[in-house]
Chains A and B, each alone.
Chain A
């Protein structure tokens, strides 16, 4: 495959979405990122250092604290979801990661290199080679055909026309739009437009992909399709993804880890299971209320350690979510054996335990009375 020099040198990339070459470095590390909008930054910083909250800073200095002390790192192949309601600062945060917005303080390291120190040229190189982004309202170029949209990144890098078209067609066929290359974006439906956005981001083979609420402008059914497609793509390509959403279900579905953001700050960071089973505060609990817990909580967290004889039957895995075993539990009142990765039975799980856990979860979430009546 004759592509831009970057693609031909060294290792052969068998399939275009093969896993990236792994290095020891954590691909993305963020330390105490803070972004303040406003003119009176000095005063705002001082107030923040004093520990004033967001409203006080706004009242006293007129500056808006969009993101405050966000610290996290994302491992290779991991999908890190930042979930928050509108105005919580998540879009600002994701733009700080590529310096589309300059953070007020804090460091972002990509593959161990602090990007705050890069000059314009180096930053452009970084964006060209390593990063990509999918935008909420697609950000497609209306004056360019689909194929020229997808090939844009390579064009900017100076790739020859034949090479970039070859590559763009390849990626377009991966997202199922092979036949639409010569259309203009506005001739496509919303879902298809976002596929173009996705193809455009993938075309440059980025190591890190940023998704800024990419599916929130789509219809619910199309949104689900796109989520499934992203999951299957990610299963093959194992890139580092940072995904912004305001939809808790989407976060649970896509995220390996989730950060819940409120008023510019992370209130909880954890796996979907951690968040659903142990919400950090009432704010998080409200989201978990109607979360599909059985799709998130794993057998491992509800099982009882093996005490005596293992029950009969095919063992279930530690990683299985409750949804997977519910049919068997409903059909069979007896306990099921739980096996670890090696296939050794380490515990049991039965109907009463699952019911008790789900019940406890819903009760602790509800602040009102009368919940007992709804018990199973």
Chain B
């Protein structure tokens, strides 16, 4: 395409413009044409193969039976085979031993000591108010008579997170030092993070059986990636100038690591531990399915018997635990850089004289306590390892007080949690569930209500899609469509990969169930995107709206996926719809946050330039901000899809059906471990398929790197 030189007069310019327009038109028709041709191929294939239908069941390779055989072999050889007596059983025994010790210790402590300790840790990380709230939160465990279950979960968490950190931090350090290790770890970690938590449980069950130890092992495997990744990242992002300076001063690699790299990487490492804790919590609950006990067990049992109120009580306890651990580790990650003032009341009440006097009284009490603590700690001032206590007199005092009280209680007899302060709001919730069913299903006898809502989603979206995928469309057509999408987005390699994944679903014998799950995922993703992206745009444009939205999103992200089901069930009863709605809620924060972030990250100058040319806010958004934010928004969509998939699978527990239900069956009943395993494998295939397709699509939005 040659344009006439601009110097050739006005007709030359007109030609050049015309040529450009033609080029532009052609490009548009080409990409539109490709889509049309693709669609035409798919439709033609469907017409030609209309009688074929779903994947022939006889083609399934029967993996489930092999797995069942393997399981039987494991059971009969557990006591004799060397791999069990020398590898699996010792690991299992060691973990069990550690868990028992932690659990016994926690349950041996008097309830008020546990509450006070929780409060103190939160206070140290976040300040006085948080400390008080944390203590109240711990008391809630006892108040709803789930003290033992809660501490069981805490013990499980402590052991699992402890193991994750003990493995993850050294591996992260090694991976930061050796590029080759990082390169070989990365695909593994990617895969580990893509897969829904659920999937980990099955192979572990195969090897270790059903109990709490496999739950811990599955948790460790699932929760390990963030701490490895963020330790690696933290060390790698330490400014190279400081590392060079350390080297120049003759520091050994060890000294550089200890004195320069690790301290600077600490916030990142703590963020990793925070994520690990949150992930561990989400799976520890699910692990109730394989006999992990604790709060998860209560939620699960209650949901199974439709005691929604009890499920909510226990679910709330999990949320309290999650918030506590999340906030405390967040605070700890920030502690390295700033120190907080002692504060009980919000700053906004500062102008009241009464508040000021209370605060100053508190401060003087604190000063006094600090002096006491300092004098208590003075004997260990020079002891290595304990010297830190002398520098933190509050800690010293608190620790001494806790130990004294504990010993005193042990001597005088340990009091049980007083029944006077227990309560239960389960009946109220159960009543609410009934009320919702009776009154909101069809509000005031009209057609409108939750019933209409869930029915329309089922009738107009989920069911038709499922029928379309699993029965109406011939299976080769589905494979072809996915292959074409893969080819368009990532060329032959991606097309091959996608074809293999989809065909794999069929050969595993999971075609119908997979298509069911896929239909649910698509409906939930569309809903999440339709809500999430506009919310993100709004949040990016209004600081006030962002501030309002933040706690809601924080809350949704902190709740373990499983617990999120409970309130949704209150509204929509069991079935596919609550699963889908819970998925939307679960995935919404990712789409909203990344849209908001992407738009806000657009350089101020670009936005200003657009304004300076007189663009309206809408124009600025459409022509400057959204295109520049596209990579971030796409990343949000990618995450949304992954989160939805994880949640839809969990929703199998409450009647969502599909692959999730099959997996759960495999976990619950030993005779269907094989088909559960296969369903888990199908989830993996589905997750990888969606993830790779979306990542390829995301890459097309990433701006061209580099310049002249």
- Residue A132, interface by CB 8 Å: yes
**Is A156 touching B244 in the complex (CB atoms < 8 A)?**
no
**Nearest residue, chain B, Cβ from A197:** B245
Q: A98: which B residues are within 8 A, CB to CB? A: 248
- Residue A249, interface by CB 8 Å: no
**Is B247 touching A140 in the complex (CB atoms < 8 A)?**
no
**Is A139 touching B241 in the complex (CB atoms < 8 A)?**
yes
**Is A124 touching B244 in the complex (CB atoms < 8 A)?**
no
**Is B264 touching A125 in the complex (CB atoms < 8 A)?**
no
B residues 534-561 touching A (CB-CB < 8 Å): none
> What DSSP secondary structure best describes chain B's contact surface?
helix
**Cα(A143)–Cα(B262), bound, Å:** 10
Q: How far is the CB of A239 from chain B (nearest CB, A)?
A: 16
**Is A125 touching B250 in the complex (CB atoms < 8 A)?**
yes
In this complex, the member of A129, A137, A143 whose beta carbon has the largest number of chain B beta carbons within 10 angstroms is: A143
**Is A143 touching B241 in the complex (CB atoms < 8 A)?**
no
Chain A: residues with Cβ within 8 Å of the partner, total of: 29
**Is A127 touching B246 in the complex (CB atoms < 8 A)?**
no
**Is A138 touching B241 in the complex (CB atoms < 8 A)?**
yes
> What DSSP secondary structure best describes chain A's contact surface?
mixed
- Residue B616, interface by CB 8 Å: no
**CB-CB contacts of B223-240 with A at 8 A, as 1s and 0s?**
000000000000000010
**CB-CB contacts of A148-170 with B at 8 A, as 1s and 0s?**
00001101110000000000000
The segment out of B47-55, B251-259, B486-494 that lies at the interface is: B251-259
**Cα(A155)–Cα(B255), bound, Å:** 10
- Residue A142, interface by CB 8 Å: yes
**Is B244 touching A100 in the complex (CB atoms < 8 A)?**
yes
- Residue A37, interface by CB 8 Å: no
Q: A143: which B residues are within 8 A, CB to CB? A: 263-264, 266, 336
**Cα(A129)–Cα(B259), bound, Å:** 19
Q: A132: which B residues are within 8 A, CB to CB? A: 248-249
**Is B264 touching A128 in the complex (CB atoms < 8 A)?**
no
In this complex, the member of B242, B246, B250, B259 whose beta carbon has the largest number of chain A beta carbons within 10 angstroms is: B250
Given A143-B264, A156-B255, do A127 and B249 touch, yes or no (CB 8 Å)?
A: yes
Pick from A137, A142, A200: contact of B264, CB under 8 Å = A142
**Cα(A348)–Cα(B246), bound, Å:** 55
Q: B336: which A residues are within 8 A, CB to CB? A: 143
- Residue B500, interface by CB 8 Å: no
**Cα(A141)–Cα(B241), bound, Å:** 9
- Residue A204, interface by CB 8 Å: yes
- Residue A133, interface by CB 8 Å: yes
Q: B263: which A residues are within 8 A, CB to CB? A: 141, 143-144
Pick from B241, B251, B255, B259: contact of A135, CB under 8 Å = B241
- Residue A202, interface by CB 8 Å: no
Q: How far is the CB of A195 from chain B (nearest CB, A)?
A: 15
A residues 90-147 touching B (CB-CB < 8 Å): 98, 100, 124-129, 131-133, 135-144
**Cα(A100)–Cα(B241), bound, Å:** 12
Q: A144: which B residues are within 8 A, CB to CB? A: 263
Q: How far is the CB of A141 from chain B (nearest CB, A)?
A: 5
- Residue B260, interface by CB 8 Å: yes
Size category of the B interface is 10 to 19
Q: A127: which B residues are within 8 A, CB to CB? A: 247-250
Given A155-B259, A156-B255, do A139 and B249 touch, yes or no (CB 8 Å)?
A: no
**Cα(A163)–Cα(B140), bound, Å:** 53
**Nearest residue, chain A, Cβ from B265:** A143
Q: A204: which B residues are within 8 A, CB to CB? A: 249
Q: B266: which A residues are within 8 A, CB to CB? A: 143
Q: B255: which A residues are within 8 A, CB to CB? A: 156
**Is A133 touching B264 in the complex (CB atoms < 8 A)?**
no
**Is A141 touching B250 in the complex (CB atoms < 8 A)?**
no
Q: A133: which B residues are within 8 A, CB to CB? A: 245, 248
**Cα(A156)–Cα(B245), bound, Å:** 12
**Cα(A204)–Cα(B251), bound, Å:** 13
Q: How far is the CB of A31 from chain B (nearest CB, A)?
A: 22
Q: B247: which A residues are within 8 A, CB to CB? A: 100, 127
In this complex, the member of B252, B259, B264 whose beta carbon has the largest number of chain A beta carbons within 10 angstroms is: B259
**Cα(A153)–Cα(B248), bound, Å:** 9
Given A142-B264, A156-B255, do A135 and B245 touch, yes or no (CB 8 Å)?
A: yes
Given A156-B250, A156-B251, do A139 and B264 touch, yes or no (CB 8 Å)?
A: no
**Is A137 touching B241 in the complex (CB atoms < 8 A)?**
yes
**Is B246 touching A152 in the complex (CB atoms < 8 A)?**
yes
**Nearest residue, chain B, Cβ from A138:** B241
**Is A139 touching B250 in the complex (CB atoms < 8 A)?**
no
**Cα(A125)–Cα(B251), bound, Å:** 9
Q: B246: which A residues are within 8 A, CB to CB? A: 141, 152, 156
B residues 251-306 touching A (CB-CB < 8 Å): 251-252, 255, 259-260, 263-264, 266
A residues 183-209 touching B (CB-CB < 8 Å): 200, 204
Q: How far is the CB of B266 from chain A (nearest CB, A)?
A: 8
Q: How far is the CB of A147 from chain B (nearest CB, A)?
A: 14
**Is B248 touching A141 in the complex (CB atoms < 8 A)?**
no
**Is A131 touching B248 in the complex (CB atoms < 8 A)?**
yes
Q: B248: which A residues are within 8 A, CB to CB? A: 98, 100, 127, 131-133, 210
Q: A153: which B residues are within 8 A, CB to CB? A: 249-250
Q: B260: which A residues are within 8 A, CB to CB? A: 141
Which residues of B are in contact with A by a Cβ distance under 8 Å? 239, 241-242, 244-252, 255, 259-260, 263-264, 266, 336
- The contact sample of 26 A-B pairs, CB cut-off 8 A, is A98-B248, A100-B248, A125-B250, A126-B250, A127-B248, A127-B250, A128-B250, A132-B248, A133-B248, A135-B241, A135-B244, A136-B241, A139-B239, A139-B244, A140-B245, A141-B242, A141-B246, A141-B260, A141-B263, A143-B263, A143-B336, A152-B245, A152-B246, A153-B249, A155-B259, A157-B250
Given contact pairs A128-B249, A156-B249, a sample of 5 additional A-B residue pairs in the complex whose CB atoms are under 8 Å apart: A127-B248, A137-B239, A137-B241, A153-B250, A210-B248
Across chains A and B, which 5 residue pairs bring their CB atoms closest together, nearest first? Answer: A128-B250, A139-B245, A139-B241, A127-B250, A124-B250
